[in-house]
Chain A
Amino acid sequence: DQQVKQNSPSLSVQEGRISILNCDYTNSMFDYFLWYKKYPAEGPTFLISISSIKDKNEDGRFTVFLNKSAKHLSLHIVPSQPGDSAVYFCAASGSFRARGGNQFYFGTGTSLTVIP
């Protein structure tokens, strides 16, 4: 059963506009969330994270919002640039795990295309 879901496989946005990527999770014990960006033929690259004690974290053009009551996470990119075209994965982890490493549960990704 998938605990982290990205229900939109793809998204297209005009350059300069806002891109909003969404992620839902089912496990209320998750308390740390990340977004990764992946270009073709490359591995995922860490983008931004948020702890459950916050509801917003901002880094330049990227902002992550966390709505714990809705179990929903979103990534806002503004303004969007053609170089932002990539697949974006959200991931979550939680303190319910015993010793077992830094296990993240990943979504299936959303492919973002920013149109010049």
Chain B
Amino acid sequence: ETGVTQTPRHLVMGMTNKKSLKCEQHLGHNAMYWYKQSAKKPLELMFVYSLEERVENNSVPSRFSPECPNSSHLFLHLHTLQPEDSALYLCASSQEEGRNQPQHFGDGTRLSIL
């Protein structure tokens, strides 16, 4: 139990579908993150939120839309995805949006685009 819960664990969707990934942290952290992990590639940071404000968007295509309604919840809304978007999507949180702080990860959502 890492304190960071992601749902669903697996998701299969067509390219025209709209779906959302959900992340919830029970650690009282103020910063939350979305990462993408593709096969044989390192984790790629997608978005960073601190105190519900987006502070980083690493050139992510607009078909990925994050939402952070409060410091405990983070969503990733998906629309018109491409096959190359199939990957493991990981959510993480840290105490603050600062350096020198480990991030705590959820178990990820395995996304497959048909």
Contact = CB atoms under 8 A, between A and B. Distances in A.
Interface of A: 2, 4, 32, 34, 36, 41-46, 49, 51, 89, 91, 93-95, 97, 99-109
A103 B42 contact: no
Contacts of A101: 31, 33, 45, 48, 50, 55-56, 97
B31 A102 contact: yes
Contact of A106 (B33, B40, B42): B42
Interface string B11-40: 000000000000000000001010000001
Nearest to B92: A43
15 contacts: A4-B42, A32-B99, A45-B2, A51-B100, A95-B99, A99-B55, A99-B97, A101-B31, A101-B50, A102-B94, A102-B99, A104-B43, A105-B42, A108-B40, A108-B41
Which residue, of A45, A46, A49, A91, has the highest number of chain B Cβ atoms within 10 A?
Answer: A46
Interface of B: 2, 4, 6, 31, 33, 40-43, 45, 48, 50, 55-56, 90, 92, 94, 96-108
A112 B101 CA distance: 25
Contacts of B105: 36, 43-45
Nearest to A109: B42
Nearest to A95: B99
B102 A46 contact: yes
Nearest to A4: B42
Given A43-B4, A43-B90, A102 B43 contact: no
B51 to A, nearest CB: 12
Contact of A104 (B2, B45, B55, B108): B45
A43 B2 contact: yes
Nearest to B104: A46
A15 B55 CA distance: 45
A41 B43 contact: no
